[in-house]
Amino acid sequence: MELGVNLIDTADAYGPETSELLIAEALHPYPAGLVIATKGGLTRPGPGQWVPNGRPDYLKRCVEKSLKRLRLDRIDLYQLHRVDPKVPMEESLGVLKEMQGAGKIRHVGLSEVTPEEIARARKVLPIVSAQNQYNIANRRWEKTLVYCEKEGLGFMPWSPIGGNRGLKRGDALEAVAKAHSASVVQLALTWLLQRSPVMLPIPGTSSIAHLEENVAAAEIKLTPEEWKTIDALAGQG
């Protein structure tokens, strides 16, 4: 918060539950203007296992439990963590619409979705954002980003650095980073921020120094030539 961060993204599956509890422990009572975004609908039955559950009764419990853990009366942005192929999307989103009507959710977002799925969801209720994996080396969801730009929806890339995959030392990315006295990780975030006005990267951090480095990436300004140099590193794959 001291660095100007005003959105924190989490999920009930992170931990599980631990992340939401820690956020409340550290920041509650929340300062004005802080947006807490969380997610539900993706279960953790075991280590390394992620299984969607979009049943309405389950999602309703997810919302109620997240409210309690986060010590909130209303969640500003609640995201369906994954579309459950076993449950019609309309049923999953229908209960979120009910929770929204009850004042327990302000806005609804989706995660790992195609433009077609977003359009389908918008027939049920307003959708404000999509959280899909996206970074320099992984642009599988390019069409979703373009859709969000066209429709004025937020695009929140998870794994925005890609765990350093594709950030090769000694290549053009490192040369541009050196020119800005920055790290290649910072350049990866800078590239995202300059890629689109609807882009909202959500990098993780394991230390204060790492956090400060991530936030400082927003101050770097790439020239058009530098941006194209970085953009060319991984094509559109």
CB 141 within 8 A of CB 160: no
Q: What phi, psi does 97 have (nearest 5°)?
A: -65, -40
- State the DSSP H helix or E strand holding residue 70, giving kind and residue range, or none if neither: helix 56-70
The amino acid at 237: G
Catalytic residue positions? 14
Q: Is 163 helix (H, G, I), strand (E, B) or coil?
A: helix
CB 201 within 8 A of CB 193: yes
Nearest Cα neighbor of 81 from 122, 40, 118, 36 is 40
DSSP string, 84-146: -TTS-HHHHHHHHHHHHHTTSEEEEEEES--HHHHHHHTTTS---EEE-B-BTTB-TTHHHHH
What is each CA distance from 154 to 21, 110, 178, in whole angstroms? 26, 10, 31
CB 45 within 8 A of CB 71: no
Q: Is 60 helix (H, G, I), strand (E, B) or coil?
A: helix
Q: Is 37 helix (H, G, I), strand (E, B) or coil?
A: strand
